[in-house]
Amino acid sequence: MFADLVYETLRKVPKGKVTTYSALARAIGKPRAARAVGNALNKNPYAPEVPCHRVVLSSGKVGKFAHGTKQKMKLLEAEGITIEKGIVPKRFILTRL
C-alpha cells in the first residue's frame, strides 16, 4: 500500500534531520507523487513513531501539519533543528534517502 511505503521510508529520517515531500516521493520510486506523500502523512496513524513532522517543503519552508504549524516547529526545534523565518536551513535537509 502506498501510505505504508511512505511511512516505512520516513522512519529512516533521523532525529535532528528533515526531508522533503519530493525527496520522500523519489525514495519510494514515485517521483511525481509529492502531493500524495503529503496526503498520506496527513492521515498518519503511527505518529510519533512515523515522524511526519520531519517533512518540509522543497524550499525549506516548514509547511503544514495536522496539529498546526506552530506544533510542527516546536517538535523540530526540540530535535535541535533551527528554523529561521519559517525556513529550515539546508544543513538539516536530507534530499536522498
Active site residues: 52
Residue located via cell numbers 496513524: 45
Residue among 48, 82, 83 at smallest CA distance from 66? 48
The number of angstroms, rounded, from the C-alpha of 8 to the middle of its chain's C-alpha atoms is 13
91 burial (CB, 10 Å; 0-12 / 13-18 / 19+) is exposed
